Amino acid sequence: MPVRCEEIASVLGDAAAGAVPFDAATRLHIEHCLRCQAEIVQYRRVLRGLRAMRTQVLEPSPALLPGILASISEASERRALRELLDGRRAAYVGGLAAATAAGVGGAIVLASRSKRAHRLAG
């Protein structure tokens, strides 16, 4: 029974790395199948690229660290400001509620005093 591309697609990457020994039918298929050969070539390119990246040393730019620290500082300042404003909002709402309650209470006291003054005068 002939080998199909779909059957060996999952092991072509290992074949490119030389990690998998194939049986005669699979080897014969790869030798005659341009699609599988192209796939192995792509895997080999990726492996070469990955090997090259292992030896590369990347030097960060001199401005990288100060830029990161500035970003962190700005974010923490925004957070602190937001927390401060949230705390003040709670205080404003509480103060408004107290003022409203005091205003209503004061109006009741004034209304009761004016009724008493009418009774005393009349």
46 lies in some domain:
yes
Distance CA 58, CA 97 (A): 60
74 lies in some domain:
no
With beta carbons less than 8 A apart as the criterion, state whether 58 and 27 touch: no
Q: Give the end of a domain, one of 55, 73, 97.
A: 55
96 lies in some domain:
yes
Range of the domain at 14: 5-55
Q: pLDDT for 58-81, tens place per residue?
A: 788 888 888 888 899 888 888 887
99 lies in some domain:
yes
Question: Per-residue confidence at 99, pLDDT binned at 50, 70, 90?
Answer: low
117 lies in some domain:
yes
120 lies in some domain:
yes
**pTM for this predicted structure:** 0.43
Domains identified in the chain, total number: 2
39 lies in some domain:
yes
101 lies in some domain:
yes
Distance CA 101, CA 38 (A): 81
Q: pLDDT for 101-117, tens place per residue?
A: 655 555 444 455 555 54
